[in-house]
Amino acid sequence: MSITLGGVAAAPDLPDVLPPRRERGRIMRFTVRHPTIVAGGLLLGIMVFIAVFAPWLGTRDPEAISPIYRLRDPQAAYWFGTDMLGRDVYSRVLYGSRVSLGVGFSVAVLASVIGMAIGVVSGFVRWLDMLLMRVMDGLMSIPGILLAIALMALTRGSVSNVVVAITIPQVPQVARLVRGVVLTLREQPFVEAAVASGTRLPKILIKHIVPNTTAALTVQATYICASAMVIEAILSFIGAGTPPTIPSWGNIMAEGRALWQIKPYIVFFPAVFLSITVLAVNLLGDGLRDALDPRLAKRL
Amino acid sequence: MSAHLLEVNALVKHFPLRGGLFGTRRGVVHAVDGVSFHIDRGETLSVVGESGCGKSTVGRTVLRLLDPTSGEVWLGGERIDNLPARRLRPLRRRMQVVFQDPFSSLNPRLSVGEIIAEPIVNFGLASGAELKDRVAGLMDKVQLPRDAIKRLPHEFSGGQRQRIGIARALAPGADIIVCDEAVSALDVSVKAQIVNLLADLQDELGLALLFISHDLAIVEHLTHRVAVMYLGKIVEMADRRTLFAAPHHPYTRALLSAVPVPDPTVKRQRVILKGDVPSPINPPSGCRFHTRCPFAFDRCRSEEPLLRERAPGQISACHLDAVPAAA
């Protein structure tokens, strides 16, 4: 059967040949299209490399005290100088990156997983939604740093407690974001089509809902990672974070604070590292936000 | 209970309207108010009407994407409107859906192959190499290139996406497909391709179609019978020939006179309705069409007309036996 509609003949069924995918030059094209991802990724890659290989990058024991060599300016033996106990600032900054990156990544992953779970449940179970969202509202009404300080005051200082204390104030943001996305997704025809074709709820969540929240969630996770690193530094700086025995950028800056006017490099170097790392993560997040939506990616 | 493939009796779907501080009930949207029809194997029934007349709600309620407020839905002799989800699931295999929007009806994160395979896997109809063969066969059937199997939906045009949606609906071997404005979002030429495809598939597989549309030109080419809906009720139902040649209900006449004719020399008497569709929250008393009907008289405002047979295979809900040609 062949029909005409309103005088327009049905277009002949053309051989539906799709253009072949271009495989060559993909890295180049990616760099040109997403410069922020590449820049952020490279910077962050360098930081991760430094954190992982800190012991092999010409460092010495970051804890070793040598009072004879204290407060030396940067020089060949001590690239970033030494602090008031004669500890090597270069080694402490490099080892400190382990704390910052570790806390940043852990908080991002933990907050995403917990927030995702709460958000999906909220979006799908209407009677729990009210309850969960009021709890989230309550958490959001307290400034994140204050809440983290309060949580740290209740517990012993350790890196894992710092992670928990920073994660809790971040969870509501993720939960709200995921809930919003889930509420939109569950009304989408492709979810209804899945229901009509006999897909069970757990599979709908895993195959149709969760994968479509990851774009928004990944972007949010990078921002959480960046702010977690800053909050860790703040907590350590005011003495409510990483225990002073572990070198972290916040600790190093806190210890160097009193000597800022005569030996500024003690504060300067960890601050520069913190800024670069946070910048890298934020660049990555901005780039991902633009790139991750497959519908937006179609525009070229 | 019946020999019909799908039978719908006095289907009602009301949506409570909540508002205010405590979510109190402010009213009820009478989306579908007592709709009855049946579809036989290999038959197409089109449901037409203006936006908001409840035709999509009929489709979604029949599919049990929405639970009906009251009424009965029988599929192949089994009553499905009150089945719990667990017992309904195996029956879903027999009734599938194609949606209007070819963009939002496909999960952007799944490949074409995964989308088409999903219902087959869900109902445990095939796995492994057999699954692959089936998916490939379905893609041939809807004339999609085989190399599309690993691609994502966003790489396709609207028409091709709609073919993917049709392949998904065919996948579990359904007896009836609900096409909810399935071609409304497509260009005219692509629209014709998809309509042809649906007609070919119907001939080949003996499919029944519940074709929901506002486009009478398409409906005339595809359908066996037509149901005209207005404000949640069927006002006229007839086989295609009768409805297009001798419509009875004033609303059907108005709809038909609005279909463009691609011939500038044809002079027609247009029936132009006054005003807008009344709110389904407070539908008019009596005949729901009386606020816009050119022939309305006192009885129409107080007494609701029932569907009565006017000609063999034609029922219409109007107090007038012979509707005047024009007002």
Q: What is the pLDDT of residues B125-170, one digit of tens each?
A: 888 899 999 999 999 999 999 888 999 998 899 899 999 999 999 9
Coil, strand or helix at B128? helix
CB pairs under 8 A between A and B: 119
Kindly report the nearest CA distance between residue B88 and chain A, in angstroms: 9
Nearest to A190 among B89, B107, B122 (CB): B107
pLDDT for the residue numbered A115: 95
Nearest to A212 among B97, B109, B262 (CB): B109
Nearest to A198 among B92, B165, B200 (CB): B92
Task: State whether B189 and A200 contact (CB < 8 Å).
Answer: no
Residue listed under structure tokens 């500024």: A264
pLDDT for the residue numbered A193: 92
Structure tokens at B48: 């037409």
Q: Is the pLDDT assigned to residue A20 strictly greater than 80?
A: no
Q: Is the pLDDT assigned to residue A230 strictly greater than 50?
A: yes
Question: Does A225 or A10 have the greater pLDDT score?
Answer: A225
pLDDT, one tens digit per residue, over B247-278 is: 999 999 888 888 877 777 777 777 778 778 88
Residue listed under structure tokens 């020999």: B3
Largest separation between any pair of C-alpha atoms in chain A: 96
Closest among B160, B200, B230 to B44, alpha carbons compared: B200
Alpha-carbon gap, residue B159 to B186, rounded angstroms:
7
pLDDT for the residue numbered B1: 46
pLDDT for the residue numbered A69: 80
Closest among B61, B9, B59, B14 to B33, alpha carbons compared: B14
Alpha-carbon gap, residue B47 to A162, rounded angstroms:
62
pLDDT for the residue numbered A224: 94
Transcribe A100-150 into DSSP letters.
HHHHHHHHHHHHHHHHHHHHHHHHH-HHHHHHHHHHHHHHHTS-HHHHHHH
- Say yes or no: B107 contacts chain A, CB-CB below 8 A: yes
pLDDT, one tens digit per residue, over A129-170 is: 999 999 999 999 988 888 888 888 888 888 899 999 999 999
Alpha-carbon gap, residue B200 to B209, rounded angstroms:
12
Mean pLDDT calculated for residue range B194-201: 92
Task: State whether A196 and B97 contact (CB < 8 Å).
Answer: yes
Contact residues, chain A, for B189 at CB < 8 Å? 8-11
Q: Which pLDDT band, with edges at 50, 70 and 90, does B194 fall under?
A: very high
Coil, strand or helix at B61? helix
Q: Is the pLDDT assigned to residue A23 strictly greater than 60?
A: no
- Say yes or no: B325 contacts chain A, CB-CB below 8 A: no
Task: State whether A1 and B200 contact (CB < 8 Å).
Answer: yes
CATH number, domain B6-94+175-317: 3.40.50.300
> Rounded to 5 degrees, what angle do the CA atoms B217, B222, B228 make?
65
Contact residues, chain B, for A195 at CB < 8 Å? 65
Task: Give percent of chain A with pLDDT exceeding 90.
Answer: 47
Distance of CA B209 to the CA centre of its chain: 8
Contact residues, chain B, for A212 at CB < 8 Å? 107-109
pLDDT for the residue numbered A9: 54
What's the predicted TM-score (pTM) here? 0.81
Q: Is the pLDDT assigned to residue B80 strictly greater than 70?
A: yes
What's at B122, amino acid-wise?
N
Give residue limits of the domains in chain A: 34-54+88-297
Q: Which pLDDT band, with edges at 50, 70 and 90, does B106 fall under?
A: very high
Distance of CA A238 to the CA centre of its chain: 23
Q: Which pLDDT band, with edges at 50, 70 and 90, does B20 fall under?
A: low
Name residues whose C-beta falls within 8 Å of residue A52's C-beta, 6 or more positions apart in sequence. Answer: none
> What's the CATH superfamily of A34-54+88-297?
MetI-like (1.10.3720.10)
Cross-strand bridge partners of residue B28: B16
Q: Is the pLDDT assigned to residue A281 strictly greater than 80?
A: yes
Structure tokens at B42: 């290999």
Question: Does A296 or A266 have the greater pLDDT score?
Answer: A266
Kindly report the nearest CA distance between residue B65 and chain A, in angstroms: 7
Task: Give percent of chain B with pLDDT exceeding 90.
Answer: 53
Q: Which pLDDT band, with edges at 50, 70 and 90, does A57 fall under?
A: confident
Distance of CA B219 to the CA centre of its chain: 11
User: Which residue of chain A has the CA closest to B160?
Assistant: A16
Closest among A256, A286, A261, A288 to A272, alpha carbons compared: A256
Q: Which pLDDT band, with edges at 50, 70 and 90, does A65 fall under?
A: confident
Interface with A, mutate which of B112, B188, B213 (most A CBs under 10 A): B188
pLDDT for the residue numbered A294: 54
pLDDT for the residue numbered B176: 94
Lowest mean pLDDT among A217-226, A287-296, B96-105, B229-238: A287-296
A119 phi, psi to nearest 5 deg? -65, -45
Q: Is the pLDDT assigned to residue B327 strictly greater than 70?
A: no
Question: Beta-carbon neighbour count of residue B162 at 10 Å?
Answer: 30
